[in-house]
Amino acid sequence: MKISHSNILNDSGADMYGVSPCKCSMIVVTGPTASGKTRRAVEIAREFGGEIISADSRQIYRGMDLGTGKDLEEYGDIPYHLIDICPAGYRYNLYEYVRDFRKAYDDIRSRGKLPVMCGGTGLYVETVLKGISLPEVPENMELRASLEGKSLSELTEILQGMKTLHNSTDVDTAKRAIRAIEIQSYYASHPEEAMLTRPNPVKDAVVVGIDIPRDDRRRRISERLKARLDNGMVDEVRRLIDVEGISPDDLIYYGLEYKFLTLYVIGQLSYDEMFRSLEIAIHQFAKRQMTWFRGMVTRGTPINWLPYDMADDVFLSEVRTLIH
């Protein structure tokens, strides 16, 4: 993709981040899975005096390490936030993420550091950048009971009648679809709360996308999957089920690695079936991520794409140009 630069004006204030003064309030590092986002975010944080805020919808869970690709060793001495903050089995939601992000962001800024948001969950990234605040939606047990037993296609049809489906993860599983219907039903019956939400965008944020060609991305996805399986990803899922007591259904809810590895562990898939299905699913997931990022640009969020294999010093020089 073509490299595009944001127009960020210089500021006359103090040099807070070890670079020439600028109005950059946050750097976002995003892109598809296996593009090397974490390494690039760590480089940026180290160069400009930053701390990382994760924008990954599954890395918030403790004990789900290999399957979510936390790669904590890459952070070194760089502080990070919103990783390992909830127990596995918990159903973390967008409302909670927006709330927790704001706390981490304000804390980092209050200490004169630069927030570096890193992750590929486009919904989290876009919601934060646009500053959308959401009402907390309680569980509706009566509604859930009425939807219990419906097929995923039936639930998807119901949800499509309530909203435009921009995010395919809403209908990845029946439980996700039920929760999405629950949220939309709450908004419909509490319009006053939906109207109270006022955008509070993160101003002067610079978004850096890690651009990786399709063939390189597919190769890296396959190599990484094999490496994580060799490093004990199946054992991680067995431990979550047998030791931590997480139900298979709850792990399947998280999708991708935890969905297919759980089906293998409980005997519903052979190892070869699991591997082939999971590999295909991750490739499809990366494709959906890119679709989301293109949509972000269409909806008004510029992304500055930089090649994934750019030399470190050149990459940091480009980022320095962007934040000035």
**What is the identity of the amino acid at 39?**
R
Task: State pLDDT tens for residues 76-115.
Answer: 999 999 999 999 999 888 888 998 999 999 999 999 999 9
Tell whether the model's pLDDT for residue 9 goes beyond 80: no
Task: State pLDDT tens for residues 32-42.
Answer: 999 999 999 99
Tell whether the model's pLDDT for residue 20 goes beyond 50: no
Tell whether the model's pLDDT for residue 315 goes beyond 70: yes
In 3D, which of 51, 55, 60, 115 has the Cα closest to residue 83?
60
What pLDDT score does 190 carry?
72
Please state, rounded to an integer, the average pLDDT across all residues of the chain: 87
What pLDDT score does 186 carry?
83
What pLDDT score does 219 carry?
98
Can you tell me whether residue 54 is helix, strand or coil? strand
Positive or negative, the Cα torsion across 253, 270, 71, 5? negative
- Are 56 and 81 spatial neighbours (Cβ–Cβ below 8 Å)? no
CA distance 213 to 218: 9
Tell whether the model's pLDDT for residue 166 goes beyond 80: no
Task: State pLDDT tens for residues 228-242.
Answer: 999 999 999 999 999
What pLDDT score does 29 carry?
98
Assigned CATH for 26-134+198-323: 3.40.50.300
* Position with higher pLDDT, 308 vs 149: 308
What pLDDT score does 165 carry?
55
CA distance 319 to 22: 12
Tell whether the model's pLDDT for residue 268 goes beyond 60: yes
**Percentage with pLDDT > 70 across the chain:** 86
Tell whether the model's pLDDT for residue 55 goes beyond 70: yes
Task: State pLDDT tens for residues 203-234.
Answer: 899 999 999 999 999 999 999 999 999 999 99
What pLDDT score does 182 carry?
87
Sorting pLDDT into bands at 50, 70 and 90, what band is 23?
Answer: low
What pLDDT score does 162 carry?
79
